[in-house]
Amino acid sequence: MSRQDGSSRQVTTGPVDDSATPILHVDMDAFFVSVELLRRPELRGKPVLVGGTAGRGVVAAASYEARRYGVNSAMPMSVALQRCPNAVVLRGDYRRYAEYSDRVMTIFRELTPLVEPLSIDEAFLDVSGARRLHGSPAEIAWTIRRRVHDETGLTCSVGVAASKYVAKVASGRAKPDGMLVVPAAETTAFLHPLPVSALWGVGRVTEESLLKLGLRTVGDVAAMPLDALTRAVGPALAARLSRLANGIDPRDVETRRVEKSIGHETTFDHDLVAPDDIARELLRLAADVGVRLRKAGLVARTVTLKLRYGDFTTVTRSRTLAEPTDVARRIYEEALVPLGELVGDGRRVRLIGVRAEQLRDAGGGAPLWDPDEDWRDAERTIDEVTRRFGRGAVRPAALVRPGGPGLMPTAGAGWERDDADESGRSSERPRP
């Protein structure tokens, strides 16, 4: 049995059929803020924000009191404070958040080995094999909520359903500090009255497309002929939305999360105009991506550049490599090609990002011809120096001397280019 209060919150309050609902989605409530309130209890009941305040700081988390003013995560802090001028802003302690996350995830794994963390504050659990020891899915959900509160002082919301998608929607409906079980037989009855924005993959643009077709609820999407939906949003998204709208989500809980991409981006305190300054930030980001790739034992086949201009227009450009790489210099140079086409002429850049995609294990064997061999060896040596002496012990010369020679075009400061070989490509080596 479930009830809905005056808001959209919906929770289970009595016996319910959970016999075919082995999937749990557990989501911590306002996690960063809640951890901060453990040591600042005098702020309970007040609008609290965690995030950066300098320049273009953004909101990392907002208390439910702040959300009533229309404040949400990823919002520029300046906008958040305009909407909620009396908010208390805290800088945040991300090491502390990670410690609490580890404690919560340990509780999950003590109840079932099938845990798929989605982020620092949420996870899917499959409790199919935990019934004999810990009870039914609803009982396990109650146990999780009790233990999380007793052992950490934090609260969480839990969705219990037959699939991952429905469990995630249910946990969102139960927030804050609630539990909602969606019996398998009632899946479509639960989903169909919800707005189309409840469907995974429906952002603002897709929502507008669906609304123009008169599709306002998940049930409207479920009833839409697939060919008409395909004409509106394309075949891949149409097929996925149709399945989800009908409660079909066969994905299993994956205990080993495989990275789909690795990337870094930064928003500048002030818009950048000079191409060399922008390229220098790209080099810094590419170095971070390369480190993460090597640490994870992965290589990437595609490099994607992301730029956001001062007017908030955002563009992305991707390049596919002849050979997958974990070399920061290669990532930088591939992203630098489209960068040269997208900056200059006084265009102001607000944000830049670089992402490595199409990842695979680095153990697949080296190519017969490796143009990055010298750089790969150099970067692995830097990894070892960093491990021993700390981050920043060794950096590219361009990052140490920001006023030094330019980084545009490709052959920039601190790098030498050999003559092109018979393949037409140039090989590079670190300057002695």
> CA 339, CA 322: separation in Å to the nearest integer?
20
d(CA 61, CA 64): 10
Question: If we measure between CA atoms, which residue out of 39, 61, 65 comes closest to residue 51?
Answer: 61
CB-based contact 210:196 (threshold 8 Å) = yes
Q: What residues contact residue 349 under an 8 Å CB cut-off, 6+ apart?
A: 268, 271, 272, 273, 278, 307, 308, 309, 310, 343
Residues with active-site annotation: 122
User: Is 27 annotated as a binding-site member?
Assistant: yes
User: Is 269 labelled as part of a ligand binding site?
Assistant: no
Rounded to an integer, what distance in angstroms lies between the CA atom of residue 418 and that of residue 240? 49
177 vs 295: CA distance, rounded Å: 37
User: What is the spatial distance between Cα 389 and Cα 347, in angstroms, rounded to a whole number?
Assistant: 39
> CA angle, 255 as apex, 249 and 258 as ends, to 5°?
85
DSSP helix/strand/coil, 357 = strand
Please state the residue numbers annotated as binding site for Mg(2+): 27, 121
Binding residue ranges: 27, 121
